[in-house]
C-alpha cells in the first residue's frame, strides 16, 4: 500500500501566496495563471484576508521560489503574453476534490473558521448545499490518512468549534481584531473591486509587454 504523502510545513508567506493562487483560480479564471503583479495584489487584499499583509514583489518572488521547490506551484508561459505566470499544484500533489480545496483555501487565507463561516464564505469557490455537507467534508479532511485540518478545542463563550489547516502554523484571529477590521471595512475595497484590481494589474503588465515588443521590432 502506498504511504501517505506528508504535508509540507508552510511559512505564513507561503500560506498566503498558495491560498491566493487557489482562490483566484476559481474567482478570476480568465486571469489565471497569475502574473507576479496580480498575485502580489491578491496577497495584499484587505477583504477576505486575515491577517492583512503588505508584501512587496520581492517577498512574493522569494516565496514562489520556495513553493516551487516544494512542488506546490509551477510556472506557465506562452499564449499572447511572455510574462511568467504562476499556478498552484496542490490538487495535483494531493488528491483533493474541489470542495476540499475550497475549505483549505479559506483556512489558508482567513485563519481558523467555524463550519458556518466556511459555508457562508465559500460561495465563489464552491457551492456547498448545506452546513451538513461542510461538516462532512471537514470530517473527511480530518480523518483521511493525510489529515489536512483539525478541530480546535472550543474556548469559553464560543458557540461553535473552529477548524484550522495543518499546512503550517496558523495565526489566531482574535475576535477583537477581527471586529475592528470589520468595523472599518466600509472604507476598504470590497472583494469584487479587489478582484478587478488583480485583473487590471495583469492587463497593464501584458500591455507593457506588447508595447516593448512593438518598440523593439
**What was the pLDDT predicted at 208?**
65
Element (H, E) at 81: strand 81-88
Mean pLDDT, each 10-residue run in order, the chain (217 residues): 79 98 96 95 95 97 98 83 89 95 98 96 95 97 94 88 94 56 44 67 65 62
pLDDT value of residue 178: 46
pLDDT of residue 180: 40
Residue pair 204/48 in contact by the 8 Å Cβ criterion: no
For the chain, domains (ranges, CATH) are: 12-174 (1.10.10.10)
Angle at 167 between CA 15 and CA 71, to 5 degrees: 75
On whether the CB atoms of residues 112 and 163 are closer than 8 A, the answer is: yes
Q: Say if residues 88 and 18 touch (Cβ distance below 8 Å).
A: yes
What's the pLDDT at 29? 94
pLDDT, position 3: 64
For residue 70, count other CB atoms closer than 10 A to its CB. Answer: 15
> Where would I find the H helices in the chain?
12-27, 36-43, 57-69, 90-93, 98-110, 115-121, 131-143, 175-183, 191-215
pLDDT of residue 4: 73
Is-contact 103 22, C-beta < 8 A?
no
What per-residue confidence (pLDDT) applies to 49? 96
How many alpha carbons lie under 13 Å from residue 152 in its C-beta half-sphere?
22
Amino acid at each position: 500500500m502506498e504511504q501517505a504523502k506528508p504535508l509540507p510545513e508552510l511559512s505564513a508567506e507561503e500560506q498566503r501566496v498558495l491560498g491566493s493562487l487557489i482562490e483566484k483560480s476559481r474567482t478570476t479564471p480568465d486571469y489565471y495563471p497569475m502574473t507576479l503583479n496580480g498575485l502580489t495584489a491578491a496577497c495584499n487584499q484587505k477583504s477576505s484576508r486575515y491577517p492583512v499583509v503588505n508584501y512587496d514583489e520581492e517577498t512574493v518572488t522569494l516565496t514562489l521560489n520556495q513553493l516551487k521547490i516544494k512542488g506546490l506551484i509551477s510556472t506557465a508561459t506562452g499564449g499572447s503574453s511572455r510574462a511568467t505566470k504562476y499556478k498552484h499544484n496542490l490538487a495535483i500533489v494531493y488528491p483533493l476534490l474541489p470542495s476540499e480545496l475550497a475549505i483549505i483555501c479559506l483556512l489558508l487565507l482567513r485563519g481558523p473558521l467555524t463550519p458556518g463561516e466556511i459555508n457562508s464564505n465559500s460561495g465563489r469557490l464552491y457551492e456547498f448545499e448545506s452546513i451538513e455537507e461542510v461538516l462532512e467534508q471537514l470530517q473527511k479532511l480530518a480523518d483521511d490518512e493525510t489529515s489536512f485540518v483539525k478541530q480546535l478545542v472550543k474556548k469559553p463563550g464560543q458557540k461553535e468549534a473552529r477548524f484550522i489547516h495543518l499546512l503550517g502554523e496558523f495565526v489566531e484571529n482574535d475576535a477583537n481584531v477581527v471586529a475592528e477590521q470589520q468595523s472599518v471595512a466600509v472604507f476598504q475595497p470590497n472583494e469584487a473591486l479587489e478582484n478587478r484590481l488583480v485583473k487590471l494589474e495583469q492587463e497593464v503588465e501584458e500591455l507593457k509587454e506588447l508595447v516593448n515588443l512593438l518598440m523593439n521590432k
